Amino acid sequence: MHIDRLERYWIIAVTAMLGVFMAALFVSVVVFRVQLPSPVGRVDPRALAETEFATPGLSDLGAGRYDMHIVAKMWNFDLGQGKGEPAEVRLPRGAQVTFFVTSEDVTHGFFIEGHDANLMLLPGQIASTTVRFNRPGTYHIICHEYCGPAHANMVAAIIVE
Amino acid sequence: MQAAQSLPQRRPAPLSFPSLAMLASERTLIGAHIITALAALSIGILMGPFQTFRRSPAFMEALPDWKIPVFTYYYQALTIHGVINALFFTTFFIVGFSYFVTQRSLERPMYSRGLAWGAFGMMFVGLSLVLYAIASNQANVLYTFYPSLVAHPTFYIGLVLLVVGTWVVTANIFLTYAQWRADHPGERVPLAVFATLANYVMWCVATIGVAVEVLFMLLPLSLGWITHTDPQMARALFWFFGHPLVYFWLIPAYISWYTMLPRQTGSQLFSDPLARVAFLMLMIFSIPVGAHHLFSDPGVSAAMKGVHTILTFVVAVPSFLTAFNIGAVLERAGRSRGARGPLGWLVRQDWGNPVVAAQLAGMILFIAGGFSGLIHASLTLNIALHNTAWVPGHFHMTLAGAITLTYIAIAYWILPLIRGRALFSRPIALAQIYTWLVGMLIFGHGMGAAGILGIPRRADLAGSGYISPEAATWLNSAAIAGVILLISSVLLFINIIGTLFFSRAPVNEDGPITTGSSDGSPLWFERWGLWLGLMLFLALVAWGPLFAETLDLVNGFNVPGFRPESPVPLQ
Ligand code: HEM
Ligand SMILES: [Cu+2]
């Protein structure tokens, strides 16, 4: 099979370019430790009351570290806020939070503005990611997967002080 | 007719086709598919601009109570838009186009007209059922229909009929090819048919995933035969299918670029063998990459995500091969039109011929859309972009840009052949194409920028509380693009209606088909059994472990179904 000389150069150049892209990816994973969600475990969405998700909310592990359990449901995030209270949580600057999130009903999304947190929330699966909050401000947690009529209002807030 | 280099002695073909008309048998069959496709598009496409209005803070401030006409529930309109445009318009159009390409390139009728009409019937009933389910508000589940959302059974049955219809189409095309092969031992099948065959092989492997999902999980759940499901498994099965689906749309556009554009621009294909390599690569590597749609999923390991990312870069190669090959076609075309200098040919193109201009405009969008795809295919950047407005920004430059514009180019010559009259208006066609190009560039850029700022996709943003002023600017610019694209869509339908009912001039543009083929490529490229085996092997390697880690018969399958309107489970 004949391959034109110029075309061969092109193929080599393109392959090299894609190689560079891949190397950049490798660096972002190995050096900068960008993490992808990985399996944490399953839960029974019909019986969340019998699991670690019975009482959602923040738990202080000391030394600026926190665990945060959240239950997504049609159409709000349960961060452990009381009835009628806004879905928000206050954190000190520099807090490092490991989120454990699941859904009680349908597929939802979990996206924190301005931070590397982007999870699909599937009923039956625990999703987890760790985020460090270095800049003061208000960051929305946005549900980014369609979950019914009030989907676009499914939002919570993280306030970094 | 473009001279193929050194044809062997050919037998007289079983069927000869008129160049500026269609045979009666072609007209009915191909006409039915293409016109159904365009009718479906006319419903689906209109929702797009309306969605941009609902998502624009400025628009909703001016008209706070404005709702999308007819499909007033935003997600109903979005379901129509996704399902009808991405699943039904494309499939009907591709099947009609495949029949035209197959019959004319092989100079013989389809193996069975009965099968062809049977498949059309199934697909058409499928379309009707799905339209019924969505229009009656019983299937507001979007075109990805992720469980545990559950739609009315007619929605799933309609989709099954669509897919089974395409399996029948595949059988018909392969049987036609087998007949041709028996008459032409040792000859290479024309490139357009080669690509068509590759496309349907890929499609049949890919649809296994969605067929298992719908038949064993969603339809029984919707009928109440089972009570629980597993959303992670469903997503894995869906995206086994979902990425090849994208190439199923793309390959017919590539067929037009590789085998028709050279004729339409008075140029010649640069390399037939490398075109075949590109199609083979698209076919084979479409399968082991689908998990790049699952980067944010909790139940899929980072290792599997990494494997699929690497292979995703491999599947970019055939598109770069295409860029070179088509670039060479256009260079020759430009130089023959008097272009000078190293880059003059980029400008000296036939921008005034709708059939060429639509494809060139599509290519411009494809460059932007393709690179945006490489960006979010990089798993670490994907964290910032997954499910944001960036993603529809990307695929409106590829699917709604390059692919749809190329289908429109095809419509601009195939509709006249179906009707037996020239295209109604070339100036309107040109206005349509350039408004589409400009509209999609503004739309893609606005959605991309809004996505980078964290604006989600699939959201009726009217009234949501998280839009920053900066993001609002970009959403408003997407709505301006929506206006431009609405005008463009109206121009498109004026030309379609005009060509079908009001055009008087005789047909002046023939179907750009090349019969015969050059000798450059090895014959083993047509070992379809070998490729099928390779694809199944790659599917096993790349998807086997993923399904294994997803499947849990003890602790999985514990999620009841829900209607989108209510948080109360169905059972
Ligand atoms: C007339 C021009 C068009 C405009 C203005 C437009 C606009 C839009 C908008 C704003 C969205 C995102 C809505 C959201 O995420 O909430 C969208 C989604 C989509 N569009 Fe278009 N669109 C157009 C044409 C097309 C065409 C021609 C196709 C396919 C052939 C297409 C396929 C899709 C698909 C598959 C989705 C995703 C639906 C989903 O997320 O469920 N669009 N469109
Ligand atoms: Cu939600």
CA proximity to A77, closest of A113, A50, A46, A101: A101
Domains of chain A by residue range: 1-35, 41-160
pLDDT of B186 strictly over 60: yes
Residues pairing with A129 in the sheet: A99
B380 versus A92: the higher-pLDDT residue is A92
pLDDT in tens, B404-450: 999 999 999 999 999 999 999 999 999 999 999 999 999 999 999 99
Nearest to B386 among A118, A143, A152 (CB): A118
Mutate to test the pocket of ligand 1, among B79, B81, B404, B407 (most ligand atoms within 8 A of CB): B81
Cβ(B38) to ligand 1 under 6 A? no
Q: Say which DSSP state B68 is in.
A: -
pLDDT of B10 reads 56
Q: Do A7 and B271 touch (CB under 8 A)?
A: yes
Cβ(B165) to ligand 1 under 6 A? no
Q: For the CA atoms of A126, A132, A138, A140, what is the dihedral angle to 10 degrees? A: -30
Q: CA of B507 to nearest chain A CA: how many angstroms apart?
A: 38
Instruction: Provide the pLDDT confidence category of residue B365 given band limits of 50, 70 and 90.
Output: very high
pLDDT of B1 reads 40
For residue B414, the SS3 value is helix
Cβ(B82) to ligand 1 under 6 A? yes
pTM: 0.95
pLDDT of B377 strictly over 80: no
Compute the distance between CA of residue B245 and CA of residue B261 in angstroms, rounded to an integer: 24
Query: H or E element: which one contains B329?
Result: helix B317-336
- Was domain A41-160 assigned CATH 3.40.50.300? no
Cβ(B45) to ligand 1 under 6 A? yes
CA of B470 to the centre of ligand 1 (A): 22
Q: CA of A103 to nearest chain B CA: how many angstroms apart?
A: 10
Average pLDDT over residues B389-397: 95
CA of B488, closest atom in ligand 1: 1
pLDDT of B2 reads 45
Cβ(B141) to ligand 1 under 6 A? no
Residue B12 burial (C-beta neighbours within 10 Å; 0-12, 13-18, 19+)? exposed
pLDDT of B11 reads 62
Mutate to test the pocket of ligand 1, among B51, B436, B485 (most ligand atoms within 8 A of CB): B51
Which of A97-106, B22-31, B374-383 is predicted with the least confidence, judged by mean pLDDT? B374-383
How big, in percent rounded to 5, are the helix, strand and coil portions of chain B? 70, 0, 30
pLDDT of B337 strictly over 80: yes
Residue A117 · residue A85 · CB < 8 Å: no
Give residues 103 to 132 of A whose Cβ lies within 8 Å of B. 105-107, 109, 111, 113-114, 116-128
Q: Do B463 and A152 touch (CB under 8 A)?
A: yes
Mean per-residue pLDDT over chain B, rounded: 93
Cβ(B49) to ligand 1 under 6 A? yes
Quote the tokens at residue A95.
Answer: 């807090």
Cβ(B46) to ligand 1 under 6 A? no
pLDDT of B6 strictly over 70: no
Residue of A nearest to B144 (CA): A146
Query: Which among B297, B390, B391, B455 is the top mutation candidate for probing chain A, defined by the most A β-carbons within 10 Å of its own β-carbon?
Result: B297
pLDDT in tens, B44-59: 999 999 999 999 999 9
* A24 touching B (Cβ < 8 Å): yes
Of all residues in chain B, the percent with pLDDT exceeding 70 is 98
Q: Do A149 and B462 touch (CB under 8 A)?
A: no
Residue of A nearest to B391 (CA): A144
The complex's ipTM works out to: 0.93
Cβ(B68) to ligand 1 under 6 A? no
Which residue has the least CA distance to atom 6 on ligand 1? B48
Mutate to test the pocket of ligand 1, among B41, B396, B410, B464 (most ligand atoms within 8 A of CB): B396
Q: Say which DSSP state A70 is in.
A: E
Residues pairing with A157 in the sheet: A88, A140
Neighbours of B338 (CB within 10 A): 9
pLDDT in tens, B134-169: 999 999 999 999 999 999 999 999 999 999 999 999
Which one of the ligands is nearest to A148 CA? 2
Compute the distance between CA of residue A102 and CA of residue A72 in angstroms, rounded to an integer: 6
Which residue has the least CA distance to atom 13 on ligand 1? B458
Q: Do B556 and A148 touch (CB under 8 A)?
A: no
pLDDT in tens, B537-566: 999 999 999 999 999 888 889 999 999 999
Q: For the CA atoms of A20, A24, A25, A26, what is the dihedral angle to 10 degrees? A: 100
Contacts of B274 in chain A (CB under 8 A): 3, 7
Residues pairing with B357 in the sheet: none
B48 contacts: CB under 8 Å, gap ≥ 6: B81, B85, B400, B482, B485, B489
Q: CA of B166 to nearest chain A CA: how many angstroms apart?
A: 29
B287 contacts: CB under 8 Å, gap ≥ 6: B202, B205, B206, B240, B243, B244, B535, B538, B539, B542, B543
pLDDT in tens, A109-126: 999 999 989 999 999 999
pLDDT in tens, B512-530: 998 877 777 888 999 999 9
Which one of the ligands is nearest to B458 CA? 1
Nearest to B556 among A10, A29, A124 (CB): A124
Per-residue pLDDT of chain A (161 residues; tens, 9 = 90+): 778 888 888 889 988 988 888 888 788 777 777 778 889 999 999 999 999 999 999 999 989 999 999 999 999 999 998 888 889 999 999 999 999 999 999 999 999 999 989 999 999 999 999 999 999 999 999 999 999 999 999 999 999 99
Which one of the ligands is nearest to B390 CA? 1
Which one of the ligands is nearest to B55 CA? 1
Q: Do B466 and A148 touch (CB under 8 A)?
A: no
Instruction: Provide the pLDDT confidence category of residue B4 given band limits of 50, 70 and 90.
Output: very low
pLDDT of B9 strictly over 70: no
For residue B339, the SS3 value is coil
Q: CA of B367 to nearest chain A CA: how many angstroms apart?
A: 14
Average pLDDT over residues B60-83: 93
